[in-house]
Amino acid sequence: MTRLLFECTNVFRSPGVNSGIQRVVRNIVSQLDSASGEVECVPVLFAHNRLYRVRQLLPGEEGKTPPARAYAWLERLNQAFWRLHGRYEQYWPMRRWHNARRVFFVAGRIVSLPVALALRALRLCGYDPLVQRAEPFEPQPGDQLILLDSSWHAQHFSLVESLKARGIRVIAVIYDLIPITRPEFFEERLKGIFCRWFDWISHQADGYMSISKAVRDEVYQELSHRLGQQAADRLSHGYFHLGSELDLRQAGQPPAQQLSDLFQQRAQVFLAVSTIEPRKNHSYLLDAFELAWAAGSEARLCIIGRIGWKCEALVQRIRQHGEFGHRLFMFNEIDDSGLEYAYKHASALVFSSHAEGFGLPLVEAMQRGLPAMGSDLPVFREIGGDCMAYFDLDHPQTLAELIQRFEASGTFPAARSLDAWHWIDWHASALQLVDGVVRPHAPSGQRNAHST
């Protein structure tokens, strides 16, 4: 029987992180048993230069004890220290002289020794998550390793290469190529990490599974440019769509008081859900709503998302805005329960991103009956079809006019009703991914889910 090995290292190690990739990994892994069918699906992680089978992806009660919490905190501290060490190791004089690099490494070992000893002591006492929730796993030739998690950390490269040399087929899941196609939106360090990873994976992967048809086409074009069209054609290229369930939502948990108060007023509330960073283009939203407010609109803009990078001026603009707390609101620490509440009580979602690999908030909103307005991007057309309203990123007035039309008529300004739109759940998403790996080039069931 074919074995598919789904790599989920970072979610296992950092279960409290809840970005888009972490949400995808958690939900796909949770559906592997029901999606396996004729293949065996095995969640795995990288540790100590080998594979471990994941018995339990997220910690249970055993992870809430003080020693277990201490182990997790120390491990994060140790990882952060060595990431910082690796960054400075690239500078002069370490890059120029071998002895300087060696001295720098020894100094790092000495500085981190107390943390290393504490981790070892806790590990011997059984508080290592690898002991509690995983076990060593031996891959076999013919297995297929699906790099589902954020696998662009260089410390894993040699292990993947050794597995490939042993006859393991490598499939890379591609969420987007935005650090390559639109590098201006990223810090130099993040851009460098991703670009080095893609340079590496383009020579290691036997196939690619993207999270949308638009990304699949971009990946094929990029590989054709780098490797030549014949080499790109020898690789498998598929795509799958994502589900939308909020898996960390706690039933019955009330939303934050400030959030619930926002929806008690009669004015329409437009919801923007995403990390606050340049690519998400919140400044465009502010421009558009300022135009709408100047024309007499009473609509409210509610921004939900953690604060990211290169956004200090934007955050200051929001907090110092004359409408902040009146018609403009921002929440940076909303959990899944609060997000579910906002989706169910808002009037519409607005998503003004410059570039996306998928656009998970669109599906999360629309599947809950919340209509969406979005940038006129190919991937948004792929998701929403005629059931979304689209605006021009070069002209904030186009969004302002959509807001005013919706506010005046009560009818959402899309070509088709949201009732005509349907989407898949995470079970179907996992089936698409498994099928696309097992049957490369011809993944079944991948219709545009907004069609009827």
Domain that holds residue 7: 3-65+127-239
The reply to whether 194 and 293 lie within a common domain is no
In a domain, 359, yes or no: yes
Residues 225 and 322 in one domain: no
Confidence of residue 250 (pLDDT cuts 50, 70, 90): low
Residue 390 located in a structural domain: yes
Find the CATH number of the domain harbouring 369. 3.40.50.2000
Check whether residue 272 and residue 214 sit in a common domain: no
Q: Is residue 252 part of a domain?
A: no
Q: Same domain, yes or no, for 223 and 284? A: no
Are 211 and 328 part of one and the same domain? no
The model's pLDDT over 128-137, given as tens digits with 9 standing for 90+, comes to 889 899 999 9
- CATH of residue 170's domain is 3.40.50
**pLDDT value of position 235:** 95
- DSSP collapsed to 3 states, the chain: CCEEEEECHHHHHCCCCCCHHHHHHHHHHHCHHHHCCCCEEEEEEEECCEEEEECCCCCCHHHHCHHHHHHHHHHHHHHHHHHHHHHHCCCCCCCCCHHHHHHHHHHHHHHCHHHHHHHHHHHHCCCCHHHHHEEECCCCCCCEEEECCCCCCHHHHHHHHHHHHCCCEEEEEECCCHHHHCHHHCCHHHHHHHHHHHHHHHHHCCEEEECCHHHHHHHHHHHHHHHCHHHHHCCEEEECCCCCCCCCCCCCCCCCHHHHHHCCCCCCEEEEECCECHHHCHHHHHHHHHHHHHCCCCCEEEEECCECCCCHHHHHHHHCCCCECCCEEEECCCCHHHHHHHHHHCCEEEECCCCCCCCHHHHHHHCCCCCEEEECCHHHHHHHHHHCEEECCCCHHHHHHHHHHHHHHCCCCCCCCHHHCCCCCHHHHHHHHHHHHHCCCCCCCCCCCCCC
Mean of pLDDT values over 340-352: 96
Tell me: do 296 and 375 sit in the same domain.
yes
Q: Is residue 358 part of a domain?
A: yes
Residue 104 within any structural domain of the chain: no
pLDDT tens-digit map of 173-219? 999 999 999 999 988 888 888 999 999 999 999 999 999 999 999 99
pLDDT-derived band at 286, boundaries 50, 70, 90: very high
pTM for this predicted structure: 0.84
Same domain? For 282 and 315 the reply is: yes
Same domain, 220 and 295: no
Q: 362 in a domain, yes or no?
A: yes
Number of domains in the chain: 2
pLDDT value of residue 205 = 97
In a domain, 430, yes or no: no
Average pLDDT rounded to a whole number, residues 414-439: 94
Q: Within a domain: residue 282?
A: yes
139 shares a domain with 227: yes
In a shared domain, residues 53 and 138: yes
